């Protein structure tokens, strides 16, 4: 499965897609980027005179690149075997620490390292770097993956 094919399986679309490019993925890690456009609605009120990307959006960006893209890669055999099946994804836990703000019109890089993947649960350590390459946040995310066909 190519990097472009992985992103096509993502169950998100704009304005809630936070993956511009998946740059690397293997059995143990994933990396990708996203550019936060100043026209995004959440900047209108967070904060009104000094817009900053909300932490929950940064967590979502980390989850989409570092957890979901990696999970799709790890499940690629099952996904390709059951093309009519729908992949269901749910975040089960997050523990993040924030160090630097991410501002409008900033491109971030997310790096993820798999902790474990078993029984449909993927747990990863993620890091998000700002446009200057400085660590903006890091933490641990976990999610559940299940693939159902319409008959199940």
- pLDDT above 90 covers what percent of the chain? 78
Residue 140 pairs with which residues in a beta bridge?
A: 95, 125
Q: Would you say how long the chain is, in residues? A: 152
Q: Is 28 a catalytic residue?
A: no
CATH superfamily of 3-148: Hotdog Thioesterase (3.10.129.10)
User: Which pLDDT band, with edges at 50, 70 and 90, does 102 fall under?
Assistant: very high
Among 1, 9, 21, 46, which one carries the catalytic annotation?
Answer: 46
| Domain ranges (residues) in the chain | 3-148
**Of all residues in the chain, what percent carry a pLDDT higher than 70?**
94
The backbone torsions φ and ψ at residue 31, rounded to the nearest 5 degrees and listed phi first, read -140, 145
Q: Tens of pLDDT along 33-89? A: 999 999 999 999 989 889 999 999 999 999 999 999 999 999 987 777 676 667 789
């Amino acid at each position: 499965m190519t990097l472009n094919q992985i992103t096509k399986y993502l169950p998100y679309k704009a304005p809630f897609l936070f993956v511009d490019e998946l740059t690397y993925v293997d059995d143990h890690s994933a990396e990708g980027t996203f550019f936060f456009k100043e026209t995004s609605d959440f900047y209108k009120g967070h904060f009104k005179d000094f817009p900053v990307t909300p932490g929950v959006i940064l967590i979502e960006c980390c989850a989409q690149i570092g957890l979901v893209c990696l999970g799709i890669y790890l499940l690629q055999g099952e996904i390709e075997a059951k093309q009519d099946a729908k992949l269901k994804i749910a975040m089960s836990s997050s523990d993040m620490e924030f160090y630097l703000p991410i501002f409008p019109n900033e491109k971030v890089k997310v790096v993820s390292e798999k902790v474990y993947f078993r029984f449909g649960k993927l747990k990863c350590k993620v890091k998000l770097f700002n446009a200057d390459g400085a660590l903006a946040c890091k933490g641990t995310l976990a999610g559940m993956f299940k693939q159902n066909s319409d008959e199940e």
